[in-house]
Chain A
Amino acid sequence: MSSEIFVWPFNLGLYFILIYSVVRSTVWFRNLSRPDKLRLQRGFFGIPFMQSIKEIFMESLLHRRIFKKNFVLGYMHMSLAFGWFLLIVFGTIEADFFGEKHLNPPSHAIFFRAFNPDHGAVGLARAYTHLMDFLLAFILSGLLLAVIKRFIPSMMGMKKTTKHTWSDRTALLSLWLIFPSRLLAESFTCGTYGSGGFLTGNLGAALASFLPAAEIAPWFWWLYSLALGTFFFLLPVTRYFHIPIELLLIFMRNSGITTGDKSSSYTEVQTHACSSCGVCIGVCQMSYAAGINDIQSAYFIKGLRSDRDIAAITANCLMCGRCEEACPVGIELGPMRLIERRQGERPDTAKRFLERYSLTGRRSTIERESTQSYGYLVREEAESADVLFFAGCMTHLTPSVISAMKKIMESAGVRYRFMDEQGGVCCGRPLMLAGRDREARELINHNSDIIWKSGARILVTSCPICYKIFRESYYLEARVMHHSEFINLLIEEGSLRLGYLHRKVVYHDPCELGRGSGIYEEPRAVISYVAELQAVPEEGTMSLCCGGSLGNLTLSSGKRALIAADAARSLTMSSPDELITACPLCKKTFGQATGTRVSDIAELVAAALPKPVKKSRGRPARVTTKSLNHG
């Protein structure tokens, strides 16, 4: 029976997908940068490899992260992935153990029952058959959930799921057909021979009682083989390609490869590792607060995969980072979008088509022209100071923050210089968010020059947007601190005497400070020191975006207002006296969106200063020297 012709759709599909995967992986590997190649090679023979195996087991098979978020969804994924995995493993053992010979071709395990119709009548073999039936039932239960999810997403707690392409649909249909056709094929065969476990045996007997089982069985074996073959053939052009690619992603990530700032094999792998699960859509404020449902990361990645023109999708994102935080696959969605924003215009359709099927996995672009030029900026004379205070563009529109910072620093006796008191030059982060790194570099150089010449050892900024770029893209000797960190330092060092305000407040993590720079603790420590800090529904890594983000160039003010109102509602649910933030842009945005008083953390601290403010100019700058000795 081994020469049965019906196994060939399966065989062809399997060989195709294996060869395709090997070729594709090889190309990706070849296109990796030298350091990344070394990382991967080192990672393959070390601890990262063990980590990857563990992660693959926990995430790709058991789907632990999805489980945590949504039990039913987790079960669905687990039963399909882990169930199928076990079915293959146990099937292979079964074929090896009970089959005619060892080291069979894969088809022997997959179509074991077709080749051994009367197997498993007694003893261990019978128990094993029950086990195989159990695994099939396990998968089928997950499949049932998948069908429900597809047609009634709300029943699975999914608000939004992504739309399918025709290839997705065909692949999905073949995927769905695989297990029911196996069930029926096995049942009919078992019905004919009176074999089988609790599922296939009983169902087979029932079916055989009124149907010509022997004649029908081959048809279902054909269907089973065809479904598998079709699924494998379609795999590379569908979302289901993520299943094998995710394994590769896990190896690469654990080896220490990161997205970086250019398109690379790693971005390609991430593109294909997206399962379009839709978690990113569910957490996207632009979706649930502003009703925009076609720009989320799942669609962005899908656009990258299908190589459509996605400039509009790419631009229309707050870059708040919530989706990246929630992504069960761990795709670096923010950096991916920034890379796309950096791209110039795309080559013409014919070239794109050729590139897409050339297996190189690389897409060429026309280099973006430098659109901006800042040759007009005058180099300023720098005064020296221990602490340099850079308010930031936006902060000039929230003068209460500036005046609060002045009061705090004067009260603590900090010898500081106000770098942009008369208006400064933009930090460059907004340009970078728009994908214009080269232009941003001009501004970075300009500001760096001033900072270096000042000889400052601490650079304090009131704007998280500036903070992020100062830390990440400026080459500075000075320690960069957001004012919440700086105030915390002043408190810890005992330089700042503060009273306690009897106010209930909530804290909003600005995107660029929290998710963007990992600063969660310091602001909370400062606030708790002077007032009663209450918890809010979504905080820390999943905190909301105020909607004012500079990361989005195209979002209208009306839509921004919807997002702001929704976020403000969530933040002020406990009716606090005050909503505290640490970003001038968030302050401005929330100021319009809520009746609750909105203040910056610096204002709150300034309010807790003893009154009247003691003039303490000329006092030595204790803070700066102390902090830098161990900083």
Chain B
Amino acid sequence: MSVRQANRFGFGINQSRQINYDTSDRKVRDYVTLREPSFRLCFACGGCSATCTAGEHISFNLRRMITLIRRGEIDLLRDEVTRCMLCGKCMLVCPRGVNTRNVVAMTAEAIRKLDRNEL
């Protein structure tokens, strides 16, 4: 039974909460990795999101963003990626030398292209 059918029968089943790694779309990941290879280096320590000025005010979390991009879950990021001020503090904190500012810039670009079917 598909999700839609289930909804029709009133089970109220929403779309699966699982990350389906086999069907998820990792074009954004590939786009960002190609243009900013240091994207691969993140080991999710959270230093960037700890120091982040924007993250204090609103949901903007580069560490989570990178993880979600890697999993192909980009829907959540569409708004979030626009909140970065590019101040570069995260870059000075990152213990892996990820070029964080360019990761943000490339992610924003990739999502824009994705939405225009250009990716």
| A interface residue numbers (CB < 8 A to B) | 369, 371-374, 376-378, 393-394, 396-397, 423-426, 428, 430-431, 434, 436, 443, 548, 550, 553-558, 585, 588
Complex CA gap A418/B86 in Å reads 23
Our pick among B38, B51, B84 for the contact of A556 (Cβ within 8 Å) is B38
Q: Tell me if A372 and B84 are in contact (CB < 8 A).
A: yes
Our pick among B36, B38, B53, B82 for the contact of A423 (Cβ within 8 Å) is B53
Complex CA gap A436/B102 in Å reads 14
Q: Tell me if B99 and A394 are in contact (CB < 8 A).
A: no
Please name all residues of chain B whose beta carbon is closer than 8 Å to the beta carbon of A558 when the two chains form the complex.
Answer: 97
Q: Which of A397, A431, A556: most chain B Cβ within 10 A?
A: A556
- With A378-B57, A556-B99 already in contact, the answer to whether A430 and B86 are too (CB < 8 A) is yes
Q: Tell me if B87 and A588 are in contact (CB < 8 A).
A: no
Q: Tell me if B82 and A394 are in contact (CB < 8 A).
A: no
Task: Give the Cβ gap from A345 to chain B, nearest Cβ, in Å.
Answer: 10
Chain A residue with the shortest CB-CB distance to B88: A550
Q: Tell me if B83 and A394 are in contact (CB < 8 A).
A: no
Complex CA gap A507/B26 in Å reads 48
B82-95 contact mask (Cβ, 8 Å, vs A): 1 or 0: 11111111001100
B7-37 contact mask (Cβ, 8 Å, vs A): 1 or 0: 0000000000000000000000000000011
* CB < 8 Å A-B pair total: 80
Smallest CB-CB A-B distances: 8 pairs: A557-B97, A426-B87, A376-B58, A426-B85, A430-B86, A393-B87, A393-B89, A550-B88
Q: Tell me if B51 and A397 are in contact (CB < 8 A).
A: yes
Is B40 interfacial (CB 8 A cutoff)? no
Q: Tell me if B38 and A434 are in contact (CB < 8 A).
A: no
Please name all residues of chain A whose beta carbon is closer than 8 Å to the beta carbon of B99 when the two chains form the complex.
Answer: 553-557
Q: Tell me if A554 and B102 are in contact (CB < 8 A).
A: yes
29 contacts between A and B (CB under 8 A): A371-B108, A371-B112, A373-B83, A376-B58, A377-B57, A393-B88, A394-B87, A394-B89, A396-B51, A396-B89, A397-B51, A397-B89, A423-B53, A425-B53, A425-B85, A426-B53, A426-B85, A428-B85, A430-B85, A430-B86, A430-B87, A431-B86, A434-B86, A434-B101, A553-B101, A553-B105, A554-B36, A556-B97, A557-B97
Q: Tell me if A434 and B105 are in contact (CB < 8 A).
A: yes
Please name all residues of chain A whose beta carbon is closer than 8 Å to the beta carbon of B53 when the two chains form the complex.
Answer: 393, 423-426
Q: Which of B51, B87, B102: most chain A Cβ within 10 A?
A: B87
Chain B residue with the shortest CB-CB distance to A425: B53
Chain A residue with the shortest CB-CB distance to B57: A376
- With A553-B102, A558-B97 already in contact, the answer to whether A372 and B85 are too (CB < 8 A) is yes
| Chain B 59-80 residues near chain A, CB threshold 8 A | none
Task: Give the Cβ gap from A562 to chain B, nearest Cβ, in Å.
Answer: 13
| B interface residue numbers (CB < 8 A to A) | 36-38, 51, 53-54, 56-58, 82-89, 92-93, 97, 99, 101-102, 105, 108, 112
Task: Give the Cβ gap from B2 to chain A, nearest Cβ, in Å.
Answer: 36
Our pick among B36, B83, B89, B102 for the contact of A376 (Cβ within 8 Å) is B83
Q: Tell me if A394 and B57 are in contact (CB < 8 A).
A: no
Complex CA gap A557/B97 in Å reads 6
Q: Tell me if A369 and B105 are in contact (CB < 8 A).
A: no
Complex CA gap A434/B86 in Å reads 8
Complex CA gap A10/B41 in Å reads 62
Complex CA gap A139/B112 in Å reads 56
Task: Give the Cβ gap from B3 to chain A, nearest Cβ, in Å.
Answer: 33
Complex CA gap A428/B88 in Å reads 11
Complex CA gap A179/B69 in Å reads 63
Complex CA gap A393/B52 in Å reads 9
Q: Tell me if A430 and B97 are in contact (CB < 8 A).
A: no
Q: Tell me if B92 and A394 are in contact (CB < 8 A).
A: yes
Q: Tell me if A373 and B105 are in contact (CB < 8 A).
A: no
Please name all residues of chain B whose beta carbon is closer than 8 Å to the beta carbon of A424 when the two chains form the complex.
Answer: 53
Chain B residue with the shortest CB-CB distance to A433: B86
Please name all residues of chain B whose beta carbon is closer than 8 Å to the beta carbon of A374 when the two chains form the complex.
Answer: 54, 83, 85
Complex CA gap A423/B108 in Å reads 25
18 more A-B contacts (CB under 8 A) besides A371-B108, A378-B57, A394-B89? A372-B108, A373-B82, A374-B54, A376-B57, A376-B58, A377-B57, A394-B88, A425-B53, A426-B53, A426-B85, A430-B85, A434-B101, A553-B99, A556-B37, A556-B99, A557-B38, A585-B88, A588-B92
Chain B residue with the shortest CB-CB distance to A442: B85
Please name all residues of chain A whose beta carbon is closer than 8 Å to the beta carbon of B57 when the two chains form the complex.
Answer: 376-378
Task: Give the Cβ gap from A348 to chain B, nearest Cβ, in Å.
Answer: 13
Our pick among B93, B102, B112 for the contact of A397 (Cβ within 8 Å) is B93
Task: Give the Cβ gap from B99 to chain A, nearest Cβ, in Å.
Answer: 6
Task: Give the Cβ gap from A378 to chain B, nearest Cβ, in Å.
Answer: 7
Our pick among B36, B37, B82 for the contact of A371 (Cβ within 8 Å) is B82
Chain B residue with the shortest CB-CB distance to A436: B86
Task: Give the Cβ gap from A307 to chain B, nearest Cβ, in Å.
Answer: 21
Complex CA gap A553/B38 in Å reads 13
Complex CA gap A434/B84 in Å reads 12
Complex CA gap A430/B84 in Å reads 11
Task: Give the Cβ gap from B12 to chain A, nearest Cβ, in Å.
Answer: 32
Please name all residues of chain A whose beta carbon is closer than 8 Å to the beta carbon of B83 when the two chains form the complex.
Answer: 372-374, 376
Q: Tell me if B88 and A397 are in contact (CB < 8 A).
A: no
Task: Give the Cβ gap from A548 to chain B, nearest Cβ, in Å.
Answer: 8
Please name all residues of chain B whose beta carbon is closer than 8 Å to the beta carbon of A378 when the two chains form the complex.
Answer: 57
Please name all residues of chain B whose beta carbon is closer than 8 Å to the beta carbon of A554 when the two chains form the complex.
Answer: 36, 99, 102
Chain B residue with the shortest CB-CB distance to A589: B92
Task: Give the Cβ gap from B119 to chain A, nearest Cβ, in Å.
Answer: 14
Complex CA gap A377/B54 in Å reads 8
Complex CA gap A515/B84 in Å reads 28
Chain B residue with the shortest CB-CB distance to A553: B102
Complex CA gap A292/B31 in Å reads 23
Chain A residue with the shortest CB-CB distance to B60: A376
Complex CA gap A428/B87 in Å reads 8
Complex CA gap A204/B38 in Å reads 67
Please name all residues of chain A whose beta carbon is closer than 8 Å to the beta carbon of B102 when the two chains form the complex.
Answer: 553-554
Please name all residues of chain A whose beta carbon is closer than 8 Å to the beta carbon of B36 when the two chains form the complex.
Answer: 554
Please name all residues of chain B whose beta carbon is closer than 8 Å to the beta carbon of A425 when the two chains form the complex.
Answer: 53, 85
Complex CA gap A362/B85 in Å reads 31
Please name all residues of chain B whose beta carbon is closer than 8 Å to the beta carbon of A548 when the two chains form the complex.
Answer: 92
Q: Which of B38, B58, B82, B85: most chain A Cβ within 10 A?
A: B85
Task: Give the Cβ gap from B82 to chain A, nearest Cβ, in Å.
Answer: 5
Complex CA gap A291/B37 in Å reads 18
Task: Give the Cβ gap from B100 to chain A, nearest Cβ, in Å.
Answer: 10
Complex CA gap A5/B58 in Å reads 78
Complex CA gap A587/B42 in Å reads 25
